C-alpha cells in the first residue's frame, strides 16, 4: 500500500555551518535565529535505511541481449533484494514496445506503488508512462528518455555526452603535445541519439586541446560488428595514435581485429565498463589502457529512488526535502591506476 508518512527531521549542522546559517538569517531579519528556523531537510539517510511500509515496485526493461543490459536487470533485482520492504515484480524483458506497454498497463491495473521503466523505445512508451502517472503511479524513467516531461516523476540517466568528453579529455592528456596525432573513433550505432551525443562530446573535448577525429567508423555494439569495423579502420589507416571505441562489448571484436592485424603503435580506450575491459586494463598487456564508465547501476538507483518516493521519503544527504526530478550519473575514466575502485561495478 502507499505510505503517506511525512517523517521530518531537523538538519544537524556543523559549527561552521550553524554560524553561516545564523549569519544569513541575521542579515535577513536583523535578529538571531533559533533552531526552528534551521532548514528542514526531510528524512535523514538513517531514517531512509529503516524498514518502512511494504511498497510494490514494478520493473520493465528491454531483453538482455547485451552485457550492459544484463547488468541493468541483475542490478535492479539486487537492489530490490537489499530492501525488506520492497515487493519487486519484474515483467519479461522485451524489445517490442507493444509488449512493454502492456506490461506497464498490467502494473497499473495491479495497483503497484511505483514503476521503474527502461523503455525499449522512449517515445513509444511515453503515452503509457503518462497514463501511469495520471493514475497516481510514479514512474522512474531509466537510461532512455521519454518524449514528455509529464511521463516520469524522476529520470535517471548515464551521461553519453559526458562519456565523449571524458574519452576526449583522456586522449588529450596523452597526446595534447602532438597536434598531428591521428585519433580514430569506433562508434556504436550511428542512428542512435546516444551515439551522436558520445561522438559530439568526444569531438568537443578533442577540439579543446587542438586535436580532431581523423578517422571514424561505426559498429553495432556486437563483437562481430566491432571486429568488422575495426578491420576496416585499420586497413584504411596505416598509422594511428589513439582509438576510442564506444562500447566494451564490441571492443572484444575490436581487440581481436587489432591482434589479427598485428598493430600496437597506438593505445585504445573503451566505453561502458565491462569486466573483460577492466581486467585487460589491470593486466596492462594489450593496447587497451582505459575505459569510460556508462553506469549499469541506473536501474538499481531507480529502484532505490522508487522506494523512497513510494514511502514519501526524501534524499537525506540533500538539503532540499525532495527527490530530484533528474539525475545524470558521472562518466569517470578507468585506468590501471584506479581500476581497483571500479572493477566491482563492472558487468560481464
Q: Is 312 left (phi over 0), alpha (psi -120 to 50) or beta?
A: left
* pLDDT value for 346: 94
* pLDDT value for 37: 53
* pLDDT value for 38: 52
pLDDT tens-digit readout, 95-131: 999 999 999 999 999 999 999 999 999 999 999 999 9
Q: What is the mean pLDDT of each run of 10 residues along the chain (348 residues)?
A: 34 32 38 51 88 96 88 96 97 95 98 97 96 98 96 97 98 93 97 94 97 97 96 98 97 97 98 96 97 96 97 90 94 97 92
Nearest by Cα to 80 from 247, 289, 305, 258: 305
Which domains are delineated in the chain?
Answer: 47-158+297-317 (3.40.50.2300), 160-294+334-345 (3.40.50.2300)
* pLDDT value for 66: 80
Residues 41, 266: contact at Cβ < 8 Å?
no
DSSP 8-state assignment for residue 91: P
* pLDDT value for 12: 30
Nearest by Cα to 272 from 186, 210, 152, 149: 186
Tell me how far apart the alpha carbons of residues 65 and 95 are, in angstroms, rounded to a whole number: 9
Cα atoms in the 13 Å half-sphere on the side-chain side of 153: 25
Amino acid at each position: 500500500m502507499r505510505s503517506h508518512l511525512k517523517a521530518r527531521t531537523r538538519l544537524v549542522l556543523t559549527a561552521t555551518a550553524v554560524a553561516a546559517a545564523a549569519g544569513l538569517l541575521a542579515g535577513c531579519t536583523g535578529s538571531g535565529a533559533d533552531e526552528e528556523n534551521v532548514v528542514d531537510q526531510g528524512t535523514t539517510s538513517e531514517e531512509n535505511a529503516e524498514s518502512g511500509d511494504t511498497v510494490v515496485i514494478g520493473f520493465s526493461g528491454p531483453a538482455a541481449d547485451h552485457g550492459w543490459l544484463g547488468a541493468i536487470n541483475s542490478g535492479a533485482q539486487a537492489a530490490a533484494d537489499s530492501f525488506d520492504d520492497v515487493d519487486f515484480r519484474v515483467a519479461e524483458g522485451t524489445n517490442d514496445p507493444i509488449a512493454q506497454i502492456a506490461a506497464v498497463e498490467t502494473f497499473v491495473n495491479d495497483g503497484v506503488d511505483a514503476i521503474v521503466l527502461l523503455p525499449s523505445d522512449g517515445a513509444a512508451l511515453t503515452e503509457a508512462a503518462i497514463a501511469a502517472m495520471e493514475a497516481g503511479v510514479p514512474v522512474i524513467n531509466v537510461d532512455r528518455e521519454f518524449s514528455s516531461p509529464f511521463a516520469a516523476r524522476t529520470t535517471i540517466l548515464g551521461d553519453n555526452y559526458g562519456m565523449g568528453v571524458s574519452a576526449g579529455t583522456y586522449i588529450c592528456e596523452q597526446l595534447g603535445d602532438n597536434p598531428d596525432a591521428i585519433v580514430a573513433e569506433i562508434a556504436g550505432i550511428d542512428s542512435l541519439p546516444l551515439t551522436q551525443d558520445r561522438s559530439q562530446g568526444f569531438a568537443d573535448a578533442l577540439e579543446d586541446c587542438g586535436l580532431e577525429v581523423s578517422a571514424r567508423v561505426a559498429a553495432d555494439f556486437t563483437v562481430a560488428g566491432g571486429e568488422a569495423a575495426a578491420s576496416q579502420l585499420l586497413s584504411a589507416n596505416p598509422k594511428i595514435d589513439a582509438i576510442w571505441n564506444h562500447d566494451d562489448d564490441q571492443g572484444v571484436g575490436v581487440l581481436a581485429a587489432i591482434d589479427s592485424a598485428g598493430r600496437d603503435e597506438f593505445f585504445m580506450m573503451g566505453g561502458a565498463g565491462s569486466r573483460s575491459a577492466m581486467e585487460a586494463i589491470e593486466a596492462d598487456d594489450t593496447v587497451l589502457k582505459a575505459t569510460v564508465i556508462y553506469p549499469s547501476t541506473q536501474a538499481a538507483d531507480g529502484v532505490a529512488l522508487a522506494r523512497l518516493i513510494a514511502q514519501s521519503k526524501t534524499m537525506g544527504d540533500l538539503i532540499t526535502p525532495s527527490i530530484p526530478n533528474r539525475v545524470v550519473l558521472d562518466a569517470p575514466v578507468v585506468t590501471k591506476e584506479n581500476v581497483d575502485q571500479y572493477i566491482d561495478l563492472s558487468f560481464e
